[in-house]
A and B are shown apart, each in its own frame.
Chain A
Amino acid sequence: MCSESCGCSSDIVGIIEKYDSDKRNLIPLLHELQDELGYISPEVMETIAEKLGTTVGQVHGVATFYTLFYTKPRGKNIVRMCNSTACHIEGGRKIREAVSAALGIAPGETTQDGGFTLEVVSCMGLCGVAPAIMVNDDVYGNLTPEMVPNILGKYREAS
């Protein structure tokens, strides 16, 4: 079990202790630890592996399989741009170009100040309001490229 010497904060220990060592808890644990820490570091993977009695390879394999898990630090705000078929035919590409231009980064990158990470995702189930993006947990639909700078500006000010 995670000891004080491993350097985990007490929050982390608290989260890990809530779960028993059933291997089925891997994905819920990754969700909760990432919510707390922002990403899953190699050290956290080791702690999880120890807790669940599995290998670090197994934990790494799962953490890198799913697109909602991150193994590197991310920006303060996550911008998810939808590339679903519905968003695509409603002009999603122009929206993605506008977001990239406004932030000065390509998908998969993080701004130098650590303010934003940009991602392209497959579908967010927001096809009724296509084209759509999500900033953190906030949804923006029926977008035009002109709307993009204002939306991102709100988050820039907040951070």
Chain B
Amino acid sequence: MSVLASAHQQEIPAFQADDDTCPQCKSERYLNKPMKLLVGPCYHKMCESCVTQRFDAGPAPCPVCERILRKAEFYQQIFEDLTVENEVRIRKRMAMIFNKRQEDFKQLKDYNDYLEMVEDITLKLLYDEDTDEAEFLIEKYRRDNTALIVKNQTKLRREEVIQRLIFDQEQLKRQQQWEEQKKQYAKEEREKAEIKNSLITALATSTMDAKDIVKAKMIQLKKSSLSSRNAMRSVQFNYDDLLADVDDGNDLDEGEAESAPLDPAESPYEPVNIELMDRYDDPFSAFRQGGLTAAGVTREMHQRYLIEGALAGLFARPLDDDDSVAEQQ
């Protein structure tokens, strides 16, 4: 996602300085608080009213550089430095067209070459060298890759939508959890107060020993707070349903949705299936002799380790001479 797009999404305010002055009508922010300074494609500034005045009737030359401009081409600047603004804009435009991804390439080298080609064109535009050639290259690329560009753009949009949905859902979830917790606390407070009240009435009316009554009530109090803690559950969301909504009517890449879920704790090796017995007759156990005192080592773990050792490579074929000849070659 380009900087500019994310800036719009998160509503970063446009850049404004206190000593802004419109170079055309010379009106100052000091006198005209809501004044909006706009920037055109030639990076000359003008206030909003000047732009309306000058370009309402149609394309007109810029008063500074005489370049023909349109009203729609003016926008509010985001960065203070106009060269940064320029670079961001150029890069945004390039990213719209050159939107191939690494998975579109067979080899990493091809992808890197492509990135370098894009960067070369971008730099040409940035430093105003061979702009014609750069424009020609961009146009040529656009014509050659129309289908892929459109496909990648829809993909990008879809990802953005999903991102936003997940973000919204997470916020909602947090809020619901917070409210649930608040309710829980209120309930707890209420129960505590009730128990206290009943304690006072019991002390006043009952004929039992005061100590016993207090003891019984304290136990009740502890129990109630425990049970309410246990009842607190986090609100669960199903992201799969969410994604299914987004995918409806969207063209999905084949097989993308069917990949198995990744288990980060999965062993990279073939698992060994061992069923341990409940009890082994084991007079040699290191546990008996006070060994294996490392934290977390259990008798079962050690037994499993030993049996794994017994099964490891039990059916491995010894090397024969054909193998070793092949290895040497």
Chains A and B bind each other? no
